[in-house]
Amino acid sequence: MVLSVGNSSMRRGVIAACVSATLFGVSTPLAKLLLGKTGPWMLAALLYLGAGIGLLAYRTISRAARVRLSAQDRGIFAAATFFGGIGAPVLLMFGISQMPATGASLLLNSEAVFTVLLAWLIFKEHVGRRLFLGITAIVAGGLLVTVPGSADLGSGWAPIAVVAACLCWALDNNLTQRISTTDASWLAMMKGLIAGTTNLVIAFLLGSHLPSPATTAAGLVIGFGAYGLSLMLFVMALRQLGTARTGAYFSVAPFLGALVAVALGEPITAALILAGALMALGVWLHLSEHHEHEHVHAATELGVPQIRHTHPHYPDTEHRHSHD
C-alpha cells in the first residue's frame, strides 16, 4: 500500500507563496511612481495602513475570531513588526526614491539570501547544498548590479538602503515563522495598523503632509495588495513550507518587479540582464532543492499490514523520524 503524505498542504503553501510574491513584486515599481508625489516615510505609512485597514474590513465582514497571543509571542510579534513593518519599508522607500526600480527590484533578491542564512545560522533550519549554490548565484548577481557603471543605481547609499531593508524583512520572516500558527489575517492586519500608524506619526513629526486624495487612495490600495494580502498569504506559506523554502519561492517577486519597471519605460542594460540571469539561476536552485524517498511502517506501528509511502523532504524541515 502506497500513501502520499503532505502533498495537498505543500501545494497550498506553494500557491500561497507564489501569489504573495506576485502581489509584492509588482508593488516596487508602482510605489516608485508614487514617490514623485509624496515622501518615502509618508508612502511607507500609507502602504501599511492600507494593509491594516483592508484586512480589518475583511475580518469584520467575515466575523473572524478574536486572537490572543501569549506573552512570549507578543514579544516575537513586536520585534517582527519593528523590523518588517517599520524599518524595512522606510529603508526601501528611501532607496527606490534615489535609484531605478529595475535595479532595486533585483536587489530585493537579497531578502531570500538573508532569510535562508538566518534560518540556518540562527534558527537552525536544515539548508542543503543547492540552497548554498543558489545563494552564491544571487549574491553574484547582486554584486554585479552594484558595480559602479554597470547600472544606474543613483546615489551610493541607495542600494545599501535596499539591501538593509532586505535584512530587516529576513529578520521579520524568521520571527513571524515562530508564530505562523496564529491567524494569518490577524497577524497581517495588526502589523499593518501598528506599523502604518507609527510611520504616519513619524512622517508628520518630520514635516510631511498627506498627499492628494488620489495619491493617498493609490497608496492605500497598493498597500492592501502588496503588504496586506501578500503578507497574509506569506504567513500561510510559512506555516506549510517553513522559512527557508518560503523565502526561496518568494524570490520570484523581484523579477516580476523588474519586468513591470521595464514595461513602465525604465531602461534595461546588459549588466541588469546578466544579473537577472544569475539571480534566476539562484532562484531555480532554491526551488529545486528537495528529495523524496520511501518509508516502510511495520504492522506493529499502525495496526495494519506493512505500509509503504513516499514523501518529500525540503531544506527548511528537519527529519524528526528514523529511516529503516
Which residues lie across from 4 on neighbouring strands?
A: 310
Question: 3-class SS at 308?
Answer: strand
Which pLDDT score, from 0 to 100, does residue 158 have? 84
Residues 6+ apart with CB under 8 A from 167: 110, 114
The helix or strand, by DSSP H or E, that contains position 104, with its residue range, turns out to be helix 101-107
Q: Judge residue 69's burial from the number of C-beta atoms within 10 Å of its C-beta, 0-12 exposed, 13-18 middle, 19 or more buried.
A: middle
Judged on CB neighbours under 10 Å (0-12, 13-18, 19+), 294 is exposed
Query: What does each C-alpha distance from 110 to 1, 19, 166, 193, 308 come to in angstroms?
Result: 44, 19, 6, 26, 41
Look at residue 290 in the predicted model and tell me its pLDDT. Answer: 55
Backbone φ and ψ of 321, nearest 5°: -150, 160
Number of domains in the chain: 1
- Distances from the Cα of 92 to the Cαs of 74, 97, 105, 307, in angstroms? 26, 8, 10, 52
Domain hosting residue 146, numbered range: 19-290
Asked if residue 219 is part of any domain, the answer here is yes
According to DSSP, the residues that pair with 295 across neighbouring strands are 309
Identify the CA nearest to 213 among candidates 33, 2, 19, 38.
38
Cell numbers given for 81: 513588526
pLDDT recorded at residue 127: 63
pLDDT at 98: 82
536544515: which residue's cell? 126
For residue 9, is it within any domain? no
Q: Output the pLDDT for position 180.
A: 82
- Classify residue 1: in a domain, yes or no: no
pLDDT at 286: 66
Q: For each of the chain's 324 residues, which pLDDT tens digit applies?
A: 333 435 677 778 888 888 888 888 888 888 888 988 898 899 999 999 999 999 999 999 999 988 989 999 999 999 999 999 999 999 988 888 888 777 777 788 788 778 878 887 887 766 677 777 877 777 677 666 555 554 555 557 888 899 999 999 999 989 988 898 889 899 999 999 999 999 999 999 989 899 999 999 999 999 999 889 988 998 888 888 777 677 767 767 666 777 777 777 777 777 777 877 887 787 777 667 654 444 444 444 444 444 444 444 444 433 334 444
pLDDT tens for each residue of 180-218: 888 989 999 999 999 999 999 999 998 989 999 999 999
In a domain, 314, yes or no: no
